[in-house]
Chains A and B, each alone.
Chain A
Amino acid sequence: MTPLLEINRLSKCYPGRVNALVDVSFSLAEGECLGLVGESGSGKSTLAKLILRLETPDQGEILLDGAPLHALRGRALKNARKHVQVIFQDPTASLNPRLPIWKTVIEPLENYPDVSPSFLSGIRHAKRQMAAVLLDKVGLGPDVLDRVPAQLSGGQRQRVAIARSLSLQPKLLVCDEPTSSLDVSVQAQILNLLKGLKNDFNMSYLFISHDIAAVHFMSDRIAVLKKGRLVDVFASGQLFETRRHPYTRQFTNCQPM
């Protein structure tokens, strides 16, 4: 069986800077959550941008369901994109400050009129109703429909961003540090929400964070990135074993679990 996402020897170098990503390979099975940890500048976000095709790799392959995502262009790329959606770190930056919430949430559905997720069957033509259903999935009431992002709290904004990422019922959700800009009390709520949604929607996650505790809580497997290279990949339960890479053990030693 082919994995949902397969990364083969991926490299990316930004001009004038050190290599952002060197020879990275891993795979992600359907329904799996792969945690990706690493310090700032280790290439985590570069990897996310490559998988989202916001950047193109210098070398290597990104296979989504066996199809070469890294080589797609135009209409084929647009068609592949609906299977991979994203939650960014800062929900204040990832929502258009001038659009009312309901328009933001259903924007992907407007772009893909042919996509008809099962949880929206019967109301696919009613935009506000779809937005209300999506917001309900992330625990927000219909009272936020007509607000703008500035009228919501940080946690509410991140829930809106999650609702938008769910709207196309993607196979893979890239979570790029989804909790690191939130209050500690809100972080746990968002993590629980993401964990519940993963089961409800049968999605795979690439969960990127520098918070090893959050990654341990969310993931089935954990990959460790250091200076653009993948140094360690292991099942989540083996995090505290002594044979872990020294760099991984630095992470577990310096953070309260």
Chain B
Amino acid sequence: MKPVTAEGKMSMFPNPVQKWVRKPLLLIGTGMLISVLLISLVGPFLVPNDPLAVNMSERLQPPSEKYPLGTDHMGRCLFSRLAVGAQTTLGITALVIFSVIVIGIPVGLISGYAGGRLDAVLMRIVDGLIAFPEFVLAIAVAGFLGPSLINLMLSIVLVKWVRYARVVRGIVLSEREKEYVLAARVGGCSSWKILYRHLLPQILSPVLVLAALDVGTVILIISSLSYLGLGIQPPNPEWGAMLNDGRSYFQTFPELMFYPGSAILWVVLACNLIGDGLRDAIHETDPTF
């Protein structure tokens, strides 16, 4: 038997930090996201003006010392609104992604492992929801429930969890016939133990990638619904709602739409870079994924 040294093999398995650093795009994406997270955490304490304070005598001002990015059509500080709006947008996004994962993983695990009639019922529900374009369905649900923050989140979670359940079920279906799962069953593991000890770790990295890529689309849906008036209600600052506010001044003061639009672009780009980078990084160590 040939001796295998731990050190010799370790170089094939670089630790996660090394891997992160070696991927420039992943690093850039992470940096971009961290910058926005910092602004959303610290921003509300450092903003120069009250984001809700209307001052009709100073509407549509150019950037100045008092207003770093100028003011909007109601004389509110654009910079302050962007910084405080970051918290709303990112907070809702995080909550939505979290709920989607919490619903999608158990449904996928149980559906894939139990099989049979339960699987058939759950997957027909998933098929039904996937059949609609997700944005149209989200608009329909949000419109039906009425404009509010909770309904906004509910509608996005409803259209998003199905893809997670699908992905998880697919992985479980291929993993559950593998010999390490069979060996665990022969060794007396209960179904629950097989699910959380052997199958759950296998699905975490693909779900992480899916979630990172989805952050961008969720932000876009939130902004779009707010833009349509179905999401965050005025006067609360939110990027999509700010886009909507600036619409009527697009020809004369395009910066009212440019700033929130750029903020959305920045975060969506960051999340897509992270998602793509993570997928490549996982693919390198586990080519089957």
Q: In terms of DSSP, what is the predominant structure of the interface of chain B?
A: helix
Residues of A within 8 A of B4 (CB): 151-153, 156
A169 within 8 A of B: no
Asked if A108 and B187 sit within 8 Å, CB to CB, the answer is yes
Query: What size tier do the contact residues of chain B reach?
Result: 20 to 34
| Chain A nearest Cβ from B33, distance in angstroms | 27
Number of A-B contacts (CB under 8 A): 71
**Given A147-B6, A151-B9, A93:B186 Cβ within 8 A:** no
Residues of A within 8 A of B178 (CB): 93
Interface hub of B4, B186, B188, B193 (most chain A Cβ within 10 A): B186
CB distance from A138 to the nearest CB of B (A): 12
Residues of A within 8 A of B34 (CB): none
Closest to B187 in A: A108
A28 adjacent to chain B (CB < 8 Å) = no
The answer to the question of A85 belonging to the interface, with a C-beta cut-off of 8 Å to chain B, is yes
A89 to B179, CA, bound (A): 9
A-B pairs, top 8 by smallest CB distance, nearest first, are A111-B188, A108-B187, A94-B179, A93-B179, A88-B179, A96-B180, A151-B9, A155-B1
How distant is the Cα of A77 from the Cα of B241 in the complex, in angstroms? 60
CB of B275 to closest CB in A, whole Å: 22
Interface pair B1/A186, CB less than 8 Å apart: yes
**Residues in A whose Cβ lies below 8 Å from that of B186:** 52, 54, 81, 84-86
In the assembled complex, the Cα of A150 lies from the Cα of B9 at a distance in Å of 8
CA distance A96 to B200 in the complex (A): 12
Binding site for B on A (CB under 8 A): 49, 52, 54, 78, 81-82, 84-86, 88-90, 93-99, 107-108, 111-112, 143, 147, 150-153, 155-156, 161, 164, 168, 186, 189
Per-position binary interface string of chain B over residues 173-198, scored 1 when its CB falls under 8 Å from any chain A CB and 0 otherwise: 00000111011111111100100011
Bound: A13/B190 CA distance, A: 27
State the CA gap A107–B185 with chains docked (Å).
Answer: 11
For A84, the closest partner residue in chain B by CB is B186
A81 surroundings in chain B (CB, below 8 A): 186, 188
> Which residue, B178, B187, B190, has most C-beta atoms of chain A within 10 A?
B187
